[in-house]
Structure 1
Amino acid sequence: MIVFLDVEFTDLLSPELLSLGLVTLDGREFYAELDLTTDIGKARVKASNDFVRYGSIFDMWGLVPGSTGTEWEIGRRTGEWLLGLAAESGTKIEIAFDYGMDYELMEYVIRDSGLWDQVREVVFPVNVNPITGTITGELGAEACFRELGKRGLKRHHALADALALRAAYIDFMQESSSKLPMGSFA
């Protein structure tokens, strides 16, 4: 099973989690965002760089009903969702990302919730940037972002970026398999 991950965070120098999106290859979605009304939420907004603070990231807060929570709740719900997928599939889950900090922040938040010892047994990280960062992957992601506009989601929303990563992966894999010589296996 493959799950695509994207995380939004405060800044590159001292990254702290703001939101997290996960999407399975078959399209199931999970999204969680930090409650910005809490003391921690307010501190994270203040710690965010100008791009995060004045860009469109916080403008898209609250678009996914029921997704807001404390950092502990985000970690707990994320861990439980991944454990549920692993139990359902009976296999380990590949967590596909295009930026290593995304995986690290997901790990930290699950660790802080007390579930990492269980989750680490059923997941393994895979950096898919070498394939999704291709022309085919970029075109797939752009098409996905255009479609997501209908949902009010756009680039730099963790769920939108996870969906775009999935689209890039699918398009790249489809193109690659169509170029295999007869008798080859993917």
Structure 2
Amino acid sequence: MDLQVAINVFIDTEFTDFADPQLISIGMASETGEEFYAEIPYDLQHCSEFVKETVLPMLGYASEAEMTKDDLREKIARWLRITRPRHGVLRICYDYQTDWDLFVEAMGGQIPTWCIGRLVADRINELLRREYHQQNCLPEHHALNDARANRYAFQESLIH
């Protein structure tokens, strides 16, 4: 029997607002330790007050993370190929539908067949998620911090 190896990749995004979300940053953290983070240009006029006050001040600290939308697609695709187990699949785990939608948009709608979206909101232990942020002194609402926190707080058998 041919068993396919699957790895969970936790994804989080920051975006302009809820009414018309436009990607600002994306973070991905695999259960095997690989990480990806990127920031792309955004229109300040489309940002909510919350985003202006909370999200934007956390941007710009990693110059290598700044890229264009076109570069983003290429760099995500390369990272996914590197992270993928040989002949295996990546489960792209998200806790909010907009994260998945913005990931698909960032990829130009071209998601590799070996990447499978997986809604895991009901598998994230909120106490553990908060604990991760507190223990590591990492603020919430930063895409990579939140992806890491979700990876830490994920429990396959969590039932509400």
In the superposition, the TM-score normalised over structure 1's length comes to 0.76
2:151 aligns with one of 153, 159, 166: 166
Q: 2:131 aligns with which of 121, 137, 143?
A: 143
Alignment correspondent of 2:48? 49
Note the alpha carbon deviations across 1:4-34, whole angstroms, 9 max, x for none: 0000011111011000000001222110011
Return the structure number with greater relative CO, CA threshold 8 A, min gap 6.
2
Secondary structure (helix, strand or coil) at the match of 1:14 reads: coil
1:105-124 equivalence runs, <5 A: 105-111=102-108, 116=110, 119-124=111-116
- 2:34–2:83 Cα contact (<8 Å) kept: no
What does residue range 16-165 of structure 1 map to in structure 2 within 5 Å? Answer: 16-35=22-41, 41=42, 44-54=43-53, 56-86=54-84, 88-111=85-108, 116=110, 119-132=111-124, 137-149=125-137, 153-165=138-150
1:7 equivalent in alignment to 2:23: no
Gaps of 5+ in 1: 36-40, 178-186
Deviations 1:97-134 (A, max 9, x none): 0001101101111117xxx2xx43110111000121xx
Name the % identity: 28
After TM superposition, where is structure 1 displaced by more than 4 Å over at least 4 residues in a row?
Answer: none
Higher helix share: 1
Report the alpha carbon displacement of residue 168 of structure 1 after superposing the two structures with TM. 0.9
Per-residue CA shift, 1:128-184, capped at 9, x if unaligned? 00121xxxx1111112101332xxx41000000101111110xx34xx59xxxxxxx
Q: Give the SS at the match of 1:32.
A: strand
Partner Cα distance (2:15, 2:147) in 1: 14
Distance in 1 of aligned mates of 2:135 and 2:63: 20
CA RMSD of superposed structures (Å): 1.7
1:65 CA displacement:
4.2
Please give the secondary structure, in 1, of the residue aligned with 2:29. Answer: strand
Contact persistence 1:19–1:32 (CA under 8 A): yes
State the TM-score, normalized to the length of structure 2: 0.87
Contact 2:11–2:147, Cα closer than 8 Å, also in 1: yes
d(CA) in 2 for partners of 1:45, 1:95: 29
Give, in whole Å, the separation in 1 of the partners of 2:152 and 2:77: 24
Q: Kindly state the Cα deviation for residue 70 of structure 1 after the two structures are TM-superposed.
A: 1.0
1: CA distance, partners of 2:44 / 2:115: 30
Kindly name which structure, 1 or 2, has the bigger radius of gyration based on alpha carbons: 1
Contact 1:31 1:64 (C-alpha < 8 Å) held by counterparts: no
1:174-185, aligned counterparts within 5 Å?
Answer: 176=157
Offset at residue 69 of structure 1 (A): 0.7
**Partner deviation per Cα, 1:75-107 (whole Å, 9 max, x = no partner):** 221121112222x43211000000011011011
